A and B are shown apart, each in its own frame.
Chain A
Amino acid sequence: MTTRLKRLALAPLLFSTLLVPTHAGAQDGEIAFPPIGSGRWEGVVLASGYLSSDGVRRDGSFNTSVTDVIDDTEITLDFVVGDNGQVTSGRMRVDLTWFVESVGTAPVTFEPYRVVSDHHQTGSLAISGNAKELVAAGTLTHQSNTVSDGVFVEEVSGTRIGEIKWGFQVLEANCVLVTGAPVWAAGASVMNEARHPPGTSEDPPYTYSNRLAVHLMAWPADDDVFEDPEGIKEALEQITLAADGIRLREYPEAIHLLELVQAWNALKAELAGLEECQATVLGWVPQSEESWLVDLLQQGLIKALDNPDDYKASDFIDFWVVGLSEGALDNALSVRFLNAFYNKLDEAIADGDTDSIYDILSFAAAYNFSVLYSQAMAAFQGASE
């Protein structure tokens, strides 16, 4: 695996969409842009992460492939919602860059190869739909450049115009937040791959891992809606920067995850200040996995747990706190954390590291982990004697 592939394998991929409503119609039982009325919106689509596949063909040749959206991707949008809750006009400006890198051996000849295709899609799509589903459709200019080592590859470099249609389902729409994610895609683009299910195909037996995430974020464009519109934009920029900071680091520090959580909460605090929203909450649909945030945090936590020697017990407490704060600690991660704490306690006892024993004891007490608590207490008392 090349250095680039190694880096990519550790980089979560994330596409994310968040909408913040100004005015829109609401109907019982439906997601809607609250409060009632028309309004102008603007937003971004965050994209991050990677998709990989690994497999061995029947003849024994193999292929490993990674698809990754890279950092300078920028997708922005603005649209107008009419009194009936329908988008009357809008544009999504796309500047989307990704690459696909494959290494393997050719069928029959087993000649090794490495192929890298860089892709860049630019253009503007028309936005339509409503608060249940937003659709971006139109044509994009698609530039691609393919280089290869080892085997002949059909030339796919060049520039072409392609029809694109992306559907975003709005997952949450309340007075302060609307989030969405892509649910379907047509036309050649990495957006299609974002929906590829993880798992294993039967023939050939390829394993797919999809950490590609797409999330849409938007907010009222009318300056009079927010007391501090710049605060909203600044919070969004901080979220984007913090997200990039996590996925670009092979070994994250808890502070990077905490920065993302703090930026996310800063955005929510800004949005919470929308008094007119507080007066009218319509069509709220609980979603709240905040899957974009949780997914990114979990990837950071897994990286840390995969490399326990790089962290102290207090670092793992930081990671735990950040994960728990946003509901990112599922059962499997909790088990891994507790195992990590047991191991750190062993190390602390062996090293006579009383500070770490205190840290683990306090942690076990605070979260009521009885076995860890009793073992840490025994170590604490032993260290005190």
Chain B
Amino acid sequence: MPALLGTLLVAAPACGPGDEAGETDVVSSTAEEVGAASSTVEESDEAPSGLPLVEGLPVVDVLGPSESGAGEVPLFRWEPVAGASRYDVGVVGPDGPLWAWQGEANEIYLGGLPVERPPGLAGPVIAAGSCWSVVARGADGHVIAVSEFLPVSPAESVGHTCIPGSGSDMG
């Protein structure tokens, strides 16, 4: 299999295919610039849903955030998985991979703080049309369960669907 990543493609829609080796700079802003992360947004009680990240693997049940109205610094939550030693959260924005986290907790705010980000503190923010997932991994580091690939937007839903690996290939 060739190691073929010398050419970059234009950015793909957030939850269409990712552009391999596309720009991965974290979008930074401040809560002051974007407004308080969760102070003005009412999150729905409806459990989020989407397509399986990988068919056939055990499922991580996600508790939040909802697809719309997640706020710009959402709190990602999921049910603990038996046998999991750690979890990986991955967030893909309109321009490619946006942010990731790894830890033992089963909830984390975007940016990695265990508490709501205070105004003035820089960090990544969710853009409309983003997708996220959580992967549970065992003590040996291998994947044991995956969530669905879930749409998330800071305010109103943009009606996007997150489809793993559905986009165009790179040249």
Binding site for B on A (CB under 8 A): 172, 174-177, 258, 261-262, 265, 268-269, 272-273, 277-278, 281, 284, 286-288, 312, 314-315, 317-318, 320-322, 324-327, 329-331, 334-335, 338-339, 342-343, 345-346, 355-356, 358-359, 361-362, 364-375, 377, 380, 384
In whole angstroms, what is the CA distance A174 to B117 when docked?
A: 13
Query: With a CB–CB cut-off of 8 A, which chain B residues contact A288?
Result: 28, 122
Instruction: Kindly identify which residue among A174, A258, A359, A371 contacts B143, using a CB–CB cutoff of 8 Å.
Output: A359
| B3 lies within 8 A of A343 (CB) | yes
| B103 lies within 8 A of A362 (CB) | no
Interface centre among A326, A339, A362, A368 (most CB of B within 10 A): A368
Query: With a CB–CB cut-off of 8 A, which chain A residues contact B102?
Result: 258, 318, 321-322, 325
Jot down 15 A-B pairs with beta carbons below 8 A, ordered by A.
A176-B118, A268-B113, A286-B122, A321-B100, A321-B101, A324-B90, A329-B24, A359-B142, A362-B54, A365-B165, A368-B96, A368-B97, A370-B165, A370-B169, A384-B56
Known A342-B3, A367-B90, A367-B92: A362·B169 in contact at CB below 8 Å: no
Query: With a CB–CB cut-off of 8 A, which chain B residues contact A343?
Result: 1, 3
In whole angstroms, what is the CA distance A327 to B29 when docked?
A: 13
Interface size on B, residues (CB 8 A): 65
In whole angstroms, what is the CA distance A325 to B24 when docked?
A: 11
Known A335-B5, A366-B90: A261·B112 in contact at CB below 8 Å: yes
Known A288-B122, A321-B101, A335-B5: A371·B137 in contact at CB below 8 Å: no
Chain A residue nearest to B164 (CB atoms) is A365
Instruction: Kindly identify which residue among B57, B117, B165 contacts A373, using a CB–CB cutoff of 8 Å.
Output: B165
Chain B residue nearest to A377 (CB atoms) is B165
**Smallest CB–CB gap between B164 and chain A, Å?**
4
| B2 lies within 8 A of A373 (CB) | no
Query: With a CB–CB cut-off of 8 A, which chain B residues contact A380?
Result: 54
Query: With a CB–CB cut-off of 8 A, which chain A residues contact B15?
Result: 368
| B92 lies within 8 A of A368 (CB) | yes
Query: With a CB–CB cut-off of 8 A, which chain B residues contact A315?
Result: 141
Binding site for A on B (CB under 8 A): 1-6, 8, 12, 15-18, 20-26, 28, 30, 32, 53-54, 56-57, 88, 90, 92, 96-103, 112-115, 117-122, 124, 131, 133, 135, 137, 140-143, 146, 149, 164-170
In whole angstroms, what is the CA distance A133 to B163 when docked?
A: 49
Query: With a CB–CB cut-off of 8 A, which chain B residues contact A272?
Result: 113, 115, 117-118, 121
Instruction: Kindly identify which residue among A277, A329, A346, A355 contacts B142, using a CB–CB cutoff of 8 Å.
Output: A355
**Smallest CB–CB gap between A342 and chain B, Å?**
5
Query: With a CB–CB cut-off of 8 A, which chain A residues contact B115?
Result: 269, 272-273
In whole angstroms, what is the CA distance A68 to B98 when docked?
A: 35
In whole angstroms, what is the CA distance A122 to B165 when docked?
A: 58
Known A175-B118, A286-B28, A327-B26: A321·B164 in contact at CB below 8 Å: no
Interface centre among B92, B117, B143 (most CB of A within 10 A): B143
| A366 lies within 8 A of B119 (CB) | no
| B118 lies within 8 A of A278 (CB) | yes
In whole angstroms, what is the CA distance A366 to B130 when docked?
A: 12
In whole angstroms, what is the CA distance A273 to B114 when docked?
A: 11
| B6 lies within 8 A of A335 (CB) | yes
In whole angstroms, what is the CA distance A74 to B11 when docked?
A: 46
| A268 lies within 8 A of B1 (CB) | no
| Further contacts, 4 of them, CB under 8 A, given A342-B5, A369-B18, A370-B167 | A314-B141, A335-B6, A367-B18, A368-B12
**Smallest CB–CB gap between A69 and chain B, Å?**
28
In whole angstroms, what is the CA distance A371 to B121 when docked?
A: 36
| A335 lies within 8 A of B18 (CB) | no
| A358 lies within 8 A of B88 (CB) | no
| B20 lies within 8 A of A286 (CB) | no
In whole angstroms, what is the CA distance A233 to B30 when docked?
A: 25
**Smallest CB–CB gap between A62 and chain B, Å?**
33
| A366 lies within 8 A of B133 (CB) | yes
| B5 lies within 8 A of A314 (CB) | no
Chain B residue nearest to A289 (CB atoms) is B28
**Smallest CB–CB gap between A385 and chain B, Å?**
13
Instruction: Kindly identify which residue among A265, A284, A322, A324 contacts B30, using a CB–CB cutoff of 8 Å.
Output: A284
| A368 lies within 8 A of B54 (CB) | no
